[in-house]
Amino acid sequence: MKEKAETQYHAPALEKGLDILELLAQSPQPLSTQAIAEQIGRKTNEMYRMLMVLRDRGYVSMDDSGSRYQLTLKMFEMAHRFPPTKRLVQAALPRMEELCHEISQSCHLSVARPGHLLVVAQYENPDKMGFGLRLGAKIDICGSGSGAVMLAFLDEQRRERILAASDATQQEVDRTRALFDPIRQQGYHVGPSPQVQGLTNISFPVYGVHDVIEAVITIPYLTLIPEAMHREVPSIDRCREQLGELADALTLAIGGRLPASTTS
């Protein structure tokens, strides 16, 4: 695994405040000033001043005993003022546009819904021909590379709920399940489209917090003939590499965390 990059800038007071918030978010019960100081490795008087500010701003409150601190719902409320899907789409679109212009292929981003995937962002191949899915399209969960990647990285309970709500046949489900191990080992999927001849699906997961998959980004790679196009046509391998970089960048842009295997 790569070494964690050194922080270029430091804001000690801000860092202490964030340390407190992260600690309280992980703690199953309220904590005293002394307990917070000990777990963070700071002096009690430093923590006391920070806690007073956080309490005045409404981020923490005292429990019934009046001696221990707990998080309020303020951060939760702030996060929900900006819906996750909206944040995801806003982060994705400029990156997708840049990628599509570089590789002359289309790209789409999809999220899980009961029984299917939903295309929430897409960018068409800027060239004269290509293949793409329209915004709002429903993708068969067991008839696409996107669906296989989503199912492979979901927890078992959610995966089974989505499959139960789909109209996939048992044969389609079994065929998709057979892809899970290779997808998990590689971290992505590259394979022929189950629905369109001559199309290769290149799909990568996009992660949120706690390594949980939030979306799948896909290039439906259409094989073009360089001689007919009168220019170089980016290969599947090149598109795979660039899509993988985009997926990682998008994960980080939405505050997600990359699995350890992708940083080694």
Mean pLDDT of 77-101: 83
Q: What does the pLDDT look like over 187-245, one tens digit per residue?
A: 999 998 887 777 899 999 999 877 889 999 999 998 776 655 556 778 999 999 999 99
| pTM of the shown model | 0.70
Is it true that 12-78 and 84-262 share their CATH fold?
Answer: no
Map tokens 């982060």 to a residue: 91
Structure token pair of residue 46: 């430093």
CA distance 231 to 103: 12
Mean pLDDT of 147-157: 94
Strand order in the sheet with 199-207: 138-140, 116-123, 107-113, 213-222, 199-207, 189-192
Among candidate residues 37, 49, 97, 84, the one with its CA nearest the CA of residue 254: 84
Q: Tell me if 113 sits within 8 A of 90, measured CB to CB.
A: no
CA distance 137 to 134: 6
Structure confidence at residue 13 (pLDDT): 86
The architecture (CATH level 2) of 12-78 comes to Orthogonal Bundle (1.10)
Residue 116's alpha-carbon distances to 18, 180, 208, in angstroms, are 38, 17, 20
Structure confidence at residue 2 (pLDDT): 35
Strand order in the sheet with 31-32: 31-32, 68-71, 60-62
**171 — pLDDT class (breaks 50, 70, 90):** very high
Mean pLDDT of 83-104: 89
Among candidate residues 128, 123, 159, the one with its CA nearest the CA of residue 141: 159
Domain 84-262 top-level CATH class: alpha beta
Map tokens 């993708």 to a residue: 139
DSSP 132-188: -PPTT-EEETTSSHHHHHHHHHS-HHHHHHHHHHS---HHHHHHHHTTHHHHHHHTS
Structure confidence at residue 4 (pLDDT): 39
- In the chain, domain spans: 12-78, 84-262
Q: For the chain, where are the alpha helices, taking DSSP H only?
A: 12-26, 33-40, 44-56, 74-79, 84-103, 145-153, 156-165, 170-177, 180-186, 226-229, 236-253
Entry field: residues in the chain: 264
CA distance 115 to 39: 44
Q: Which of 16-20, 35-39, 229-233, 243-247 has the lowest mean pLDDT?
A: 229-233
CA distance 197 to 213: 28
User: Does 5 score more than 80 pLDDT?
Assistant: no
